[in-house]
């Protein structure tokens, strides 16, 4: 049943993915609203299951993921932007509430899907010659799809 409580973060990631594909921007107010709604959902789940450690777990896993993503963005310039790091928060809260294994599956899914997504996007992007979007790959859809796969894998496995 905890999977229903991941919906605010996943729906926010869907909206952020659409905006990222269209504009290569991640609106911070949307990230803030989605993160707040996801935190409320995690809190409600924690109260219902009498386990408020879930809230702490979600916040700590999200912070760890954001630090790792920021480090990756700083190590390889122009690979990931600040929007990709902030877009990680709603999905991180959703996946983080489920524990360590879903977070690991999420990162593995983002890595595998990300490589394929970047290759396909650079090959088939219809706006690749436009100066404002040239060479910029929207990565938020990969974050969202990886989160969905991690949550579904957690549902199936256990």
Per-residue 3-state assignment (H helix, E strand, C coil) for 43-105: HHHHHHCCCCHHHHHHHHHHHHHHHHHHHHHHHCCCCCCHHHHHCHHHHHHHHHCCCHHHHHH
Beta carbons within 10 angstroms of residue 16's beta carbon: 27
Percent over 70 (pLDDT), the chain: 94
Domain that holds residue 24: 2-157
Number of domains in the chain: 1
Per-residue pLDDT at 46 exceeds 70: yes
The pLDDT value given to residue 84: 87
pLDDT at res. 124: 77
Can you tell me the distance from the alpha carbon of 93 to that of 84, in angstroms, rounded to the nearest whole number? 15
């Amino acid at each position: 049943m905890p999977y229903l409580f991941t919906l605010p973060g996943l729906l926010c990631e869907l909206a952020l993915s659409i905006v990222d594909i269209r504009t290569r921007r991640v609106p911070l107010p949307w990230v803030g609203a989605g993160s707040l709604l996801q935190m409320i959902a995690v809190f409600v789940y924690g109260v219902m299951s009498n386990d408020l450690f879930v809230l702490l777990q979600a916040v700590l896993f999200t912070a760890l993921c954001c630090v790792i993503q920021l480090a990756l963005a700083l190590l390889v310039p122009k690979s990931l932007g600040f929007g990709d790091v902030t877009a990680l928060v709603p999905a991180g809260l959703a996946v983080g509430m489920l524990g360590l294994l879903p977070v690991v599956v999420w990162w593995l899914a983002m890595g595998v899907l990300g490589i394929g997504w970047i290759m396909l996007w650079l090959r088939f992007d219809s706006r690749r010659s436009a100066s404002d979007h040239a060479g910029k790959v929207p990565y938020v859809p990969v974050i969202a799809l990886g989160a969905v796969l991690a949550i579904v894998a957690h549902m199936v496995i256990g």
